[in-house]
Amino acid sequence: MPAQGSPVSGQTVCVTGAGGFIASWMVKLLLERGYNVKGTVRNPEDSKNFHLKQLQGAEDRLVLCKADLLDYESLREAIKGCDGVFHTASPVTDDPEQMVGPAVEGTKNVINAAAEAGVRRVVFTSSIGAVYMDPNRSPDVVVDESCWSDLEFCKNTKNWYCYGKAVAEQAAWEVSREKGVDLVVVNPVLVMGPLLQPNINASIIHILKYLTGSAKTYANSVQAYVHVRDVAEAHILVFETPSASGRYMCAESVLHRGEVVGILGKLFPEYPVPTKCSDEVNPRKKAYKFSNQRLRDLGLKFTPVKQSLYETVKSLQEKGHLPVPEPLS
């Protein structure tokens, strides 16, 4: 962590897709640290971006720039005069048309604009989706920064989100090498925690469905989880640490869906959390092994998954996305 009163005051950074779940937290923490922030959004006047203007320090040090990933000039304008860029904006969809092209072209545009502006470092938000989709990996292999998703496997299983994330990250490495841009990549797993933005994002729906009664059973599958604040911290940490380089896996723990609903059921017994697995024939899927050592070596302390789940539900209640039932007597 940088020392108190660290020399960030006066530094300007750009955060793409500033209104998103992770990006909003980045903007919040960057402002708290004293940075000037330029956030790109599609429409600065859209009410879904108003939460950014309410953040501490936003009045003096946040500028929302109208920009589109596929419009190079708009990005160039936003990134001009910046010391660093956090490229977080990305489509989240399983539609290959909407996912792959924009993810790759948008990433190339951001890095080209960063090269032109002479920024010190670009931090790119990739995903576990670019890392672990590989049917040939032995269950004993530790998933770490050296792992890459198998693109053919992603294509054949029509997992366009993971495919798009993997090709976008590859494009980021390629263009940054060509242009001599200092690139560092963070690969978060499924992100949970309190929402700053008004709308519900894709990763939070994954938890919400177990509380509303819309999911009657849980899947026989495993997933890695991490707290949104830890993800935002990780990005700032790799930006501020001169020696940081390469990729950083950002994960706290891997849980079976049965463990997730078990925790939710204990913490919030008043909700109809499912207790039955949709697949009672096959053996229970085992958690994969992963390493988050590189981020821990930089000083990141991960929030325990139980706390992340608790804070997610509390936030959904506060934001009115989840009714607060009468406590059980």
Token pair for residue 266? 């204990």
* pLDDT, one tens digit for every residue, the chain (329 residues): 443 445 666 899 999 999 999 999 999 999 999 999 999 999 999 999 999 999 999 999 999 999 999 999 999 999 999 999 999 988 777 777 778 888 899 999 999 999 999 999 999 999 999 999 999 998 889 999 999 999 999 999 999 989 999 999 999 999 999 999 999 999 999 999 999 999 999 899 999 999 999 999 999 999 999 999 999 999 999 999 999 999 999 999 999 999 999 999 999 999 999 999 999 899 999 999 999 999 999 999 999 999 999 999 999 999 999 998 776 55
pTM of the model: 0.94
116: in domain:
yes
Q: At 227, is the secondary structure helix, strand, or coil?
A: strand
136: in domain:
yes
CA 231 to chain centre: 6
Residue 285 annotated as catalytic: no
315: in domain:
yes
- Choose the catalytic residue: 53, 165, 276, 286: 165
Token pair for residue 276? 């039955």
68: in domain:
yes
The total number of structural domains that make up the chain: 1
List the CATH number of the domain containing 289. 3.40.50.720
> In 10 A of CB 158, how many CB atoms?
10
180: in domain:
yes
User: For residue 149, with 0-12 CB atoms within 10 Å meaning exposed, 13-18 middle and 19 or more buried, which class applies?
Assistant: buried
Edge-to-edge strands, sheet with 121-125: 62-66, 36-41, 12-15, 84-87, 121-125, 183-188, 246-250
Domain of residue 294: give its range. 12-319
Return the pLDDT at 108. 96
Return the pLDDT at 3. 37
7: in domain:
no
Using alpha carbons, select from 184, 51, 312 the residue that is nearest to residue 31.
51
16: in domain:
yes
**Alpha-carbon span 293 to 304, nearest angstrom:** 16
φ, ψ dihedrals at 311, nearest 5° = -65, -30
325: in domain:
no
Return the pLDDT at 7. 60
- Within 8 A by CB and 6+ apart from 309, the residues are 192, 207, 225, 260, 263, 264, 267
